[in-house]
């Protein structure tokens, strides 16, 4: 690994080789009946890999010349924890982070590549950062089976929208997804399920508030990227159209009583969870 950008550890492997290695891990797990799906920037990479222009834009997420990936983040079901531990430790010979795995093992596990090339963060059932993104608790009954080898484009959008203080790299991830996917009312190849996103946000005012802010930031950042020559004006317009379509669905969705009650307090009370990055 190499370090850069405020202490971020980058993966030194060629991006395509790293992605292939990670996809192979997911396939090997699948062969053993273990459901694991890739999260984050690599999920965006996989969902847009057939679009050379999307790849070109995505490669600028950390700035020109910087590596694309920092590690492998995956989502799994806690019900399969025992199998997952055996898979990483006995079959892949990855080294467990004993302290983290002992302290937080009910929510996540961390493993290190045997040659120290990268680490793997395994999350269970839901992402719990600024806001919660649920994936279900049981193989065959959750959202992980909607897509392979990464989580669905819908869930990638939610993963990014839940961030309370969103970074430019995450805005680039969203721009690339909106550029290449349609806003729909169902799941599917090349689709972002706007209906599901709207329904989830209609239950949680805090998540809704940050998500709407972040969607407006996507449009602003797309403008900035046009000014920097990283995005064409027509691409910016397409992204803005998709964002507005999603915002329209979010606005139209009837809000729950819980949402309405919390909306009355608004920003007078903290509406997000602080995320303390685990020291690795």
| Partners of residue 109 on adjacent β-strands | 122
The mean per-residue pLDDT over the stretch 37-41 comes to 97
Tell me if 280 is assigned to some domain.
no
Matching residue, tokens 């984050």: 40
pLDDT digits (tens, 9 = 90+) for 120-146: 999 999 999 999 999 999 999 999 999
The pLDDT, as a whole number, for residue 206 is 98
Tell me if 52 is assigned to some domain.
yes
Q: Domain tally for the chain?
A: 1
* Long-range contacts (CB closer than 8 Å, 24 or more residues apart) made by 230-237: 230/57, 230/60, 231/57, 231/175, 235/53, 235/57, 235/179
The pLDDT, as a whole number, for residue 61 is 87
Tell me if 234 is assigned to some domain.
yes
| Domain, as residue range, for 71 | 2-268
pLDDT band for position 7 (cuts 50, 70, 90): very low
* CA nearest neighbour of 126 among 111, 102, 150, 143: 143
pLDDT digits (tens, 9 = 90+) for 82-97: 999 999 999 999 999 9
Q: Does residue 165 register a pLDDT over 70?
A: yes
Tell me if 278 is assigned to some domain.
no
Please report, rounded to a whole number, the percentage of residues in the chain having pLDDT higher than 90: 87
The pLDDT, as a whole number, for residue 279 is 41
Reading the block at residue 213, the tokens are: 């802010």
Tell me if 225 is assigned to some domain.
yes
- Between CA 248 and CA 156, with CA 267 as vertex, the angle to 5 degrees is 45
Q: Does residue 48 register a pLDDT over 70?
A: yes
Q: Are 190 and 225 in contact (CB under 8 A)?
A: no
Tell me if 275 is assigned to some domain.
no
Reading the block at residue 126, the tokens are: 């839901």
Q: Does residue 241 register a pLDDT over 90?
A: yes
Q: Are 124 and 106 in contact (CB under 8 A)?
A: yes
Q: What is the Cα Rg of the chain in Å?
A: 19
Q: Is the peptide bond before 149 cis (omega within 30 degrees of 0)?
A: yes
């Amino acid at each position: 690994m190499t370090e850069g950008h405020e202490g971020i550890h980058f993966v030194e492997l060629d991006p395509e080789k790293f992605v292939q290695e990670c996809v192979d891990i997911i396939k090997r797990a699948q062969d053993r009946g273990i459901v694991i799906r890739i999260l984050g920037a690599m999920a965006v990479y996989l969902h847009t890999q057939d679009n050379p222009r999307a790849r070109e834009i995505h490669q600028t997420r950390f700035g020109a010349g910087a590596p694309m990936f920092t590690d492998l983040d995956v989502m799994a079901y806690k019900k399969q924890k025992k199998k997952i531990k055996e898979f990483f430790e006995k079959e892949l010979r990855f080294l467990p982070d004993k302290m983290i795995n002992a302290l937080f093992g009910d929510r996540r596990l961390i493993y290190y590549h045997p040659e120290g090339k990268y680490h793997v963060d395994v999350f269970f059932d839901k992402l719990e950062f600024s806001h919660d993104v649920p994936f279900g608790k049981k193989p065959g009954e959750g959202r992980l089976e909607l897509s392979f080898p990464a989580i669905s484009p819908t869930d990638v959008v939610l993963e990014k929208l839940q961030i309370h203080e969103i970074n430019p790299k995450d805005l680039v991830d969203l721009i690339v997804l909106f550029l290449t996917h349609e806003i729909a009312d169902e799941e599917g190849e090349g689709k972002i399920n706007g209906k599901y996103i709207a329904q989830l946000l209609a239950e949680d005012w805090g998540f809704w508030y940050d998500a709407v802010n972040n969607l407006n930031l996507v449009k602003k950042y797309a403008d900035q990227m046009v000014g920097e020559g990283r995005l064409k004006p027509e691409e910016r317009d397409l992204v803005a159209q998709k964002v507005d379509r999603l915002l329209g669905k979010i606005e139209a969705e009837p809000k729950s009583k819980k949402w309405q009650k919390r909306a009355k307090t608004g920003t007078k009370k903290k509406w997000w969870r602080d995320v303390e990055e685990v020291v690795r």
